[in-house]
Amino acid sequence: MSENSATVTVALSSDNQPNRSYDIAIAAHSLKNLGAKLVEIGLGKKSKKILIVSNPVIYKHYGETVHNSLTNASFDVAHLILPAGERFKTANSLQKIYDAALEHRLERSSAIVALGGGVIGDMSGYAAATWLRGIDLVQVPTTLLAMVDSAIGGKTGINHPQGKNLIGAFYQPRLVWIDPEVLKTLPAREFRSAMAEVIKYGVIWDRELFDLLAKCDRLDQLRYISDELLQTILYRCAKAKAEVVSKDEKEGNLRAILNYGHTVGHAIESVTNYRLYNHGEAVGLGMLIAGAIAVDLGLWSAEDQAQQVALIAKTRLPQTLPADIDQEAIVESLSTDKKVEAGKVRFILPTAIGHVTLSDRVTGDLVKQNLRQILT
């Protein structure tokens, strides 16, 4: 990894598709080079049509740069602007992508470029997976959370009114193109939110990353993160996820560990209608609860939990829930989690910093007991 750029390869193959590997390219000031890179990897040989899907704020900042980069590479470019926010990750928004794909006459050799955060990436990815039974997808994440997590690994989908990400498909992109410079326009709350996912990688996979973060005084704003540290964070998170996905693409077992903190986190998001907490805030709360449950079950030490609590505190993420939150609804929401097997919710629980395990020993009462510990 150089100081200013790095590439991580997600190594994938199958019997009928021997090489589906793709690169995660991390380089500052690289948005203007996207079009040339797509030509280099073979997009546009048959169809030059590309649909950019974005949201209003992101497109205002970066849409022209990406659009010009693609047109300069001789692509025929259209764009669609969708509202920002998790509550818009719906079938209605998906239909708008399909309508735009039809209007622009996207073909099987055309592509969708997802320019935005996790919501845009998830919806665009599912649209690409299902339009004409699958067209090329390029992820251009513009939030830290999308850069370290959602844009990598091929999970795509939309929310059902009764649960998050219940409708979707595994569909890998042709490329993930990360320009850290775009984070300079990221709101502070979104940056803090993403740090929950960064810490997650430290807990589940990368003790060295955890220790590196623990040396920082504050992790709640980009201005406290040096360019060198940011590059290291992006690289190590991408490397961790690529390693996990390469070993278990479709969450047969190992990949489930990437959902650390998400089981209760998704339930909190759903019960609060995606309005009180954003994704990373909910995941941070879910990690605190998962860690406390692991202590109760004797899986990891109170000392390790204290280190996790201290690190999350450096992000200034919420560490409490409102006293009137519906605990029963949270527990009930767990039953719709994608990790339910044979009627039991599989929790990802830490055993040591850098290591986790899957457990079906977590009862609803144990969840409520630890929810009550963080009520205010």
Residues labelled catalytic: 133, 155, 197, 241, 251, 255, 259, 262, 266, 279
Nearest to 29 by CA among 145, 140, 180: 180
| Closest alpha carbon to 262 in 160, 346, 361 | 346
293 is in an annotated binding site: no
Question: Annotation-wise, does 368 bind a ligand?
Answer: no
The answer to whether 362 touches 350, Cβ cutoff 8 Å, is no
Continuous H helices in 252-358:
262-271, 279-296, 302-313, 327-334
Cβ contact 325:175 at 8 Å: no
The annotation status of 197 as a binding-site residue, yes or no, is yes
Q: Are 129 and 143 in contact (CB under 8 A)?
A: no
160 marked among binding-site residues: no
Instruction: Give the whole-angstrom CA distance, residue 376 versus residue 372.
Output: 9
Is 57 marked as a binding-site residue? Answer: no
Q: Has 120 been labeled as part of a binding site?
A: yes
Buried b (16+ CB within 10 A) or exposed e, 177-211: bbbbebbeebeeebbbbbbbbbbbbbbbbbeebbe
Annotated ligand binding at 65? The verdict is no
User: Tokens for 103?
Assistant: 């209007």
In 3-state terms, what secondary structure has residue 167? Answer: strand
H helix or E strand, kind and range, residue 214: helix 207-214
Is 164 annotated as belonging to a binding site? Answer: yes
Has 142 been labeled as part of a binding site?
A: yes
State yes or no: 119 annotated in a binding site: yes
CA distance 203 to 197: 10
Annotated binding site for NAD(+): 118-122, 142-143, 155, 164
Annotated binding site for Zn(2+): 197, 262, 279
Annotated binding site: 118-122, 142-143, 155, 164, 197, 262, 279
